[in-house]
Amino acid sequence: MVLAATTEAPAVLLLDPAGRILSANPAAAAILGRPVDRLIGQPFVSLLRFELTSSDPEMLAIQWEAVAATARTRPQSIQPLAGKRSYHLRLDPAAPDESTLFATLTILPESFTSGPFQTSHPMQEALALVANRGGLGFFDLRLDSGELATSTGWKRMLGYTEHELPDTLATWRRLVHPDDTAATPDHAPRRQPSGARPFSVEYRLRHRDGRYLWLSCVGVRVFGPEGSLQRVSGIHLDITERKDLEEISLLNDERL
């Protein structure tokens, strides 16, 4: 049914400058997997698949800026949460002052959604490359459900393969150095106003071989309506070598 809707009629949405849906035709509703009346007012990017998903308004705003920057100049490949097919997204001004935008979705042929011809947003492609092949480790910790999502690079940094570590909060806390439990981003000493708060900390996690790695961690803490910490998303960078050099320098200073 979705294929019939998308080939017989163009899928079109009307968006405000912040990317919220003002209206949509039935073809767009079929692709996004919701009735038209349930699309109105929703952030368009909240219905798309990303490497890191979030309902946080600040994160959604960043994702919309990234999508809009590309789709205004050339068609961008997207994948709705409601299905596995990919579509080309094009954004065009609906008014001379660009106070509203037309978002047009056209289905991509199978040959363009797999293999060497696969297309994607450049920023998503770069993030996926760094997450899986670079020296950074991405993680998303849900304290309310006890779930842990990590990139391949995060587990590789600690000496593990993709499926060796359970994706749980218990795994995270088992790896933390006993002296650093108060320094990790999942530890919030007091309640905070609801919303997202940036953080930057350093602490140690245990490598598979038993040694501890010093990690620099930056990211965002998300606090719920009651002020309790609900989610932590961030990036790890291995700074063990730097810490070792600092310790050697301190020892040399003490000898002098």
Q: What pLDDT is attached to residue 125?
A: 54
pLDDT at residue 119 in the model: 41
| Residues 19 and 44 sit within 8 Å (Cβ to Cβ) | yes
Q: In this structure, what DSSP letter does residue 76 have?
A: E
Predicted structure pTM score:
0.52
For the domain made up of 126-244, the CATH class stated in words is: alpha beta
Amino acid letter, residue 7:
T
- Between CA 239 and CA 235 the distance in angstroms is 13
Nearest by Cα to 149 from 135, 136, 138 = 138
In terms of residues, how long is the chain?
Answer: 256
Q: CATH 3.30.450.20 residue ranges in the chain?
A: 2-112, 126-244
pLDDT digits (tens, 9 = 90+) for 76-115: 788 899 887 888 888 988 877 778 999 999 876 443 343 3
Read off the pLDDT of residues 159-206 as tens digits, 9 standing for 90 and up. 998 788 888 999 999 999 999 999 999 987 677 888 888 888 999 999
| Diameter of the chain measured on Cα atoms | 81
Task: Give yes or no for a contact between 105 and 82, defined as CB atoms under 8 angstroms apart.
Answer: no
CB 25 within 8 Å of CB 11:
yes
Query: What single letter denotes the amino acid at residue 94?
Result: A
Q: State which CATH number among 3.30.450.20, 3.60.110.10, 2.40.420.20, 3.30.420.110 fits the domain covering 2-112.
A: 3.30.450.20
- For residue 136, give the nearest of 239, 17, 241 by alpha carbon: 239
